[in-house]
Amino acid sequence: MEIRQYHADDEKQLVALWNEVLWADKICLEFFREKLLLEPNIIDDGIFIAEESGKMAGAVIAWTRTTAQPWGFEGVSEEQKDTGFMLPLLIAPEHKNSGLGKELLEKSEKYLIALGKKYFSVCEYNPLFFLNGLDKESYPELHNFYLKNQYRQNRISYSMRIDLHKYVIPEDTRQIEKKLLTENITFSVCKPELFLAARKFLAKEFPRWLNNFIYKVQKIDTSSEIMLALRGAEAVGFCQYNYYGQQERVGPFGVSESLRGKKVGHVMVAKLCERMTEKGFQSAYFSSCVEGVKNFYGRNGFKVYKEKTIFTKEVSA
């Protein structure tokens, strides 16, 4: 068994191994290139391959933040300057319980320690990442492997979805919308004349979403996929679907802090779901939310379909 660094011609075997191990989170070769190989912080020095007789037996991907972040994320690099990141271990079924997983894990940990990192994080990396947590139900053995190797469950990330087949906005939500109208709060898709209002809202309330908003309106005119809450001409809420090309994926959602608790977000999400049905969508989902907001989405008809763990570990002194 040889453990070595990644070579350019490993990509097909690595994607095949990924899909065998992480069968509930499959990717294609193009996705692997876009999300991993073209991620500026991931370099081949941190990708370790275990190979036996020319066949890939295991792999692990580790990296650190070295490049500037998109608009709104400038502070993330400072917050996580001592953290090294990893994706879940990929061990071929025939090599389970052979000690290979522990050997690869230790290899990646030593790599990150040599770069001065004091903490390891598995499956948490922003922005634009796609695997934000390890689904315990789908991967119980891998989940237990991290616990046995002194990783702790930092938090739970919930994936939720809603069936839009026959979706209509509930009558009580319509009544809330009418009440909000008496307070000059309305809802509209983000037409070009509202771009500035949307940008001002995001810059003030949710600066980390600015990059996504600018990407969306520059890449293709998909502004009709954004739903705004407005108080007069001022944007006070934002939500969207088609997140970076994942058409049924909704989010982010957010409302001005001063209006939270008035159910502006509740109506806005319902209006977005209605808009999606008008475009022919049969379902909607989002990839991640924390415990504190899960109930909000539940009240809007979303149901949990994945409960994922973010693992962390502190380097021993």
Assess whether the region 2-157+309-314 and the region 166-281 belong to the same CATH fold: yes
Lowest mean pLDDT among 133-137, 206-210, 277-281: 206-210
Domain boundaries, the chain: 2-157+309-314, 166-281
Q: Tell me the average pLDDT across 137-160.
A: 95
Q: Which residue type occupies 194?
A: L
Residue listed under structure tokens 């271990």: 89
Write down the CATH superfamily of domain 166-281.
Answer: Gcn5-related N-acetyltransferase (GNAT) (3.40.630.30)
Tokens of 188: 């509209």
Matching CATH number, 2-157+309-314, of 3.30.1490.20, 3.40.630.30, 2.40.110.10, 1.10.10.10 = 3.40.630.30
Q: Chain-wide mean pLDDT for the chain?
A: 91
pLDDT tens digits, 20-59: 999 999 999 998 998 888 888 888 899 999 999 999 999 9
Q: Give, to the nearest 10 degrees, the angle between helix 264-278 and helix 171-181.
A: 120
Is residue 69's pLDDT more than 70? Answer: no
Does residue 170 have a cis peptide bond before it, meaning omega lies within 30 degrees of 0? Answer: no
Phi first, then psi, for residue 77 (nearest 5°) are -60, -40
- Sign of the alpha-carbon torsion through 269, 272, 276, 278: positive
Stronger pLDDT, 166 or 77, i.e. the higher one? 166
Q: Which residue type occupies 21?
A: V
Tokens of 199: 């940008």
pLDDT tens digits, 95-143: 999 999 999 999 999 999 999 999 999 988 775 567 889 999 999 999 9
Cβ-Cβ contacts under 8 Å for 26 (sequence gap 6 or more):
18, 19
Indicate the burial class of 238 (C-beta count within 10 angstroms; 0-12, 13-18, 19 or more).
Answer: buried
- What is the rounded CA–CA span in Å between residue 278 and residue 270? 13
Q: Tell me the average pLDDT across 218-244.
A: 88
pLDDT reported for residue 81 = 82
77 pLDDT tier (thresholds 50, 70, 90):
low
